[in-house]
Chains A and B, each alone.
Chain A
């Protein structure tokens, strides 16, 4: 009789299994079970680890299929089946099943849907409603031409009492493919962002239009952080300095500058080229670049010689290295799409 509750997905994904999944989460909801019990339910029924992350409410729970709670110390994999708890908000909470490979099964989808449904209620009940950042309010707050009174009125529901404090500082955050956000300056950004973020400087509430503009610029310097698009997922405008000036020079969709074109042609030459150039540009020495991409020092040397031939300039001299760095940054600027206007 043991372990009947486990690994339902091993069975045929017929209606019977779905009914039992639904019964499981209905019972948890009826008896007002907590977050961990719900995440554990998803893990046990799916037979793989499940995790709930809601950075805005400081919730991070991960449970393994044997019921052990082991909270996450790495970012979720983009391929895992996932159910957002707040629709259309990639910064917001989501539930994941840590199942690799392919589309989620029917049963996985039922588990995610039912568990997420109850989790939404429990989060609202136990942690308070997540701030409803209405798109219209944000738009007003970030609009430098809007009336000051209107902007202060819009700030109240978004930022609460902090707005009344003249010394309080806030940041605009630009989310790749998502709605703009505003956060108190001292609040934590997600340590393990699931999406690309541009973070504006900390400013008083009425200067948020400036922070927003800088955040959007910063977002254009972000990358997916994958082998096909290496680079930082989160970029702070404060860290960009005058690099931000490049933003004005590179218009997405227009023909890229010559060095970027040379870089693109070089990247197309070999699958290892992009990661190699990224490692050379972002590490302190060739030795650490070799370690970063896990190749022998002599292999890296050979690759660099090859790359220099294609690029047409040396990337070992400081000036050539700067040129490579700028070309890589401008390549992001040339590629960015998905940045929304308010």
Chain B
């Protein structure tokens, strides 16, 4: 069935026209390998992450899941602020197959500068070399370390917010489920930005946006296929890989969810928020009209991007009660 896609926001459509050359709508494994070799855009140096000395930046190796290698945490701490401060535990995006703990960390640092928070960004093993559950278990191990060492970092273990975009948003949702079910220390909130939640990849938005925008249905199939192999879309997919599979969305920390109306993930993000409300939970949902996947990071100057970025801080401030 041919489906009419919603139009892109005018400014975002224009940005896409410029970006398209470097950013085809459909990701391939070959392109992913090339991007891995080149890095996803410019990798910010520690100095740049430090924001003129506002943050002290360090890379720290901490124990991974039992029996697995250490994982690397990028830790950015405000230097001149008395603790204990909130902690943003960041999980990067990249479709489960790309990126590192510096990818997109600038967004979390923007919030942290405003609310004087610590940022901890986790490096997790990537698919397809490391399929499920390697990524989520790395993310979980980094979270446990952060809870246990929060005070040592000058942080408040009671006020950890977990956050991620795209695949990182999916892993954030999965981490919230895993923490609930393993009865670890709950985070204060979860931020799911254009999250990748559903391996079935068959929503109307996934079908509408095939071949369009950024991270289309074929790219998504590549991402989930890399993470889950043959199991993708089948009966036995764990909710800790694909949070949309969870039967029970009760007992989760308050969620901030945003997504563009013109992207593959629109319907699964909206459905996830709806199911949290139906389970008696708390969620704030923003659907930005005409937004493509990751629009706010790729065209930060556009009016819609600025509105999307501006919506997050008030939520953080209300949550933190500061």
Contact = CB atoms under 8 A, between A and B. Distances in A.
Interface of A: 1-6, 8, 20, 23-28, 30-34, 36-37, 40-41, 43-44, 65-68
Contacts of B8: 31
A23 B18 CA distance: 7
A163 B128 CA distance: 77
Given A3-B300, A67-B301, A37 B18 contact: no
B295 to A, nearest CB: 11
Nearest to A64: B301
B301 A40 contact: yes
B19 interface: yes
A33 B14 contact: yes
28 contacts: A1-B294, A2-B106, A2-B297, A3-B41, A4-B19, A5-B15, A5-B299, A5-B301, A8-B18, A20-B18, A23-B14, A23-B17, A23-B18, A24-B14, A24-B17, A25-B14, A26-B17, A27-B10, A30-B13, A31-B10, A31-B13, A31-B14, A37-B14, A40-B11, A41-B11, A41-B14, A65-B301, A67-B305
Contacts of B297: 1-2
B11 A1 contact: no
Q: In terms of DSSP, what is the predominant structure of the interface of chain B?
A: helix
B256 to A, nearest CB: 21
Contacts of A2: 41, 104, 106, 297-298, 300
B58 to A, nearest CB: 23
Contacts of A31: 7-10, 13-14
B303 interface: yes
B40 A1 contact: yes
Interface of B: 7-11, 13-19, 21-23, 40-41, 104, 106, 294, 297-303, 305-306
Nearest to B14: A27
Most buried by B among A27, A28, A32: A27
A67 B18 contact: no
List the 6 shortest-distance A-B pairs measured between CB atoms, nearest first: A67-B301, A33-B10, A31-B10, A27-B14, A23-B17, A27-B17
A4 B214 CA distance: 14
A316 to B, nearest CB: 53
Contacts of B7: 31
A33 B11 contact: yes
Nearest to B15: A5
A36 B301 contact: no
